[in-house]
Amino acid sequence: MPVITYRDALGAAIREEMQRDDRVFLMGEEVAVYQGAYKVSKGFLQEFGEMRVVDTPITELGFAGVGVGAAMVGLRPVIEFMTWNFALLAIDQVVNAAAKMLYMSGGQFKIPIVFRGPNGAALQLSAQHSQAWESWLAHIPGLKVIAPGTPYDAKGLLKSAIRDDNPVCFLEGEMLYNTKGEVPDEDYTIPIGKADLKREGDHCSIITHGKMVLVAMQAADQLAKEGIRLDVVDLRTIRPMDVEAITASVHKTNRAVVLEEGWEVCGVGAQVVDYIQRDCFDSLDAPVLRVHQADVPMPYAKGLERAAKPDLPKTIAAVRKVMYLD
């Protein structure tokens, strides 16, 4: 199986869907002539032309709205935000138009649109460019929210998102674009709403998503040297969430750590813990712990930024604590 980057897996997904269905088009800032801010759309303009690979002004609200209108009349837009932090300017179209249109039209207008771009922190991008948006978006009925952590999942889930008749928010990670993994050449999709058990163990469950999957796997490798076997549950989809996968893991291990990039208050992890306490209360041998970003705007200074982020030492410390080893 070929080994490719997360970036190339995303590009392959969009290209294959554009080849398969001429209603699919890509629109956003620098997606055409510049070939994408992160080079996901490299070669697209030459292959598909300017009617299907559309450069826009710096007008997130405007081109998100154009995308919603295009979806209403039967096209299948893929809207790229240079970062989800910029999508805050387009949130009215995402939340009040895309998410609600099917409901408010009494089922007359499906909105087959994908909003995609990098989410969360990179390196020294400071407070306004480092936010993780999944808990904000997952709060909205009518939106599907996906956050893949591997190239394989990124390709399969993006193809599913483009084929879906509902609006999908697809959250990538800037720090994931250069990561590599095995990705089949042949056509495949991954069901939206289905988690993946990335590692099997029986001592403690780590429930995570997005770029934190890499941290969870590193923790599993390191703790395995001590004889501690972790179940690593990659949610992949935040809404709808695979509750059955979460609870099956916790029933098996009797302990859980929820690892996420976002802030603690009202975060994705809070929802995961709610499902665990409802369905696994009698199975728990320890309180569920959460590992997350510090409750501050992201600092710019390297040392402070590192201290604010969830990381491997904090994850390992949480696992050891729920196992009463520290």
Claim to verify: residue 225 and residue 177 sit in the same structural domain = no
CA distance 138 to 239: 6
Does residue 139 share a domain with residue 42?
yes
User: Rounded to an integer, what distance in angstroms lies between the CA atom of residue 146 and that of residue 3?
Assistant: 22
The verdict on 175 and 311 lying in the same domain is: no
- 164 and 38 in a single domain? The answer is yes
Helix (H) or strand (E) holding 20: helix 6-20
Contacts of 199-203 with CB under 8 Å at 24 or more apart are 199/230, 199/231, 199/232, 200/229, 200/231, 201/228, 201/229, 201/230, 201/231, 201/232, 201/253, 202/229, 202/231, 202/252, 202/253, 203/228, 203/229, 203/230, 203/253, 203/255, 203/323
CATH number, position 246: 3.40.50.920
| Type of residue at 213 | V
Q: Which of 182, 215, 236 marks a domain boundary? A: 182
Annotated catalytic residue, options 17, 29, 80, 129: 129
Residue-level pLDDT at 307: 96
Among 137, 155, 182, the domain-final residue is 182
Q: Flag whether 189 is in a domain.
A: no
Q: Is 324 exposed, middle or buried (0-12, 13-18, 19+ CB in 10 A)?
A: exposed
> Which DSSP letter does residue 97 get?
I
Residues 173 and 230 in one domain: no
Q: Is residue 187 part of a domain?
A: no
Kindly state whether residue 190 falls inside one of the protein's structural domains: no
Q: What is the pLDDT of residue 97?
A: 98
pLDDT value of position 13: 98
40-71 pLDDT, tens digit per residue, is 999 999 999 999 999 999 999 999 999 999 99
Confidence grade of residue 326 (pLDDT, cut at 50, 70, 90): confident
Q: Tell me if residue 60 is catalytic.
A: yes
Instruction: Say whether both 135 and 212 belong to one domain.
Output: no
Q: What is the pLDDT of residues 267-319, one digit of tens each?
A: 999 999 999 999 999 999 999 999 999 999 999 999 999 999 999 999 999 99
- Structure-token pair, residue 25: 């088009």
Give me the CATH number covering residue 174: 3.40.50.970
In the chain, % helix, strand, coil (3-state, to 5) comes to 40, 15, 45
With a cut of 90, say whether residue 1 has pLDDT above it.
no
Which is the catalytic residue, given 17, 60, 260, 261? 60
Residue 30 lies in a domain: yes
Structural domain of 216: 196-322
Structural domain count, the chain: 2
Q: What is the mean pLDDT of the chain?
A: 97
Residues 165 and 258 in one domain: no
271/172 same-domain check: no
Query: What are the strands of the beta sheet with 76-80, ordered from one edge?
Result: 53-55, 24-28, 76-80, 114-118, 168-172, 144-146, 237-239
Active site residue 203: no
pLDDT tens readout for residues 2-15:
999 999 999 999 99
User: 135 and 50, same structural domain?
Assistant: yes
Q: Is 170 found in the same domain as 200? A: no
Instruction: Please determine, for residue 80, whether its predicted confidence score (pLDDT) is greater than 90.
Output: yes
Are 165 and 205 members of one domain? no
Last-in-domain residue among 182, 216, 236: 182
Residue 162 is assigned to a structural domain of this protein:
yes
pLDDT tens by residue, 138-186: 999 999 999 999 999 999 999 999 999 999 999 999 999 999 999 999 9
Rounded to whole angstroms, the Cα distance separating 77 from 116 reads: 11
299 part of a folded domain: yes
**Is 191 a domain residue?**
no
Are both 131 and 267 inside the same structural domain? no
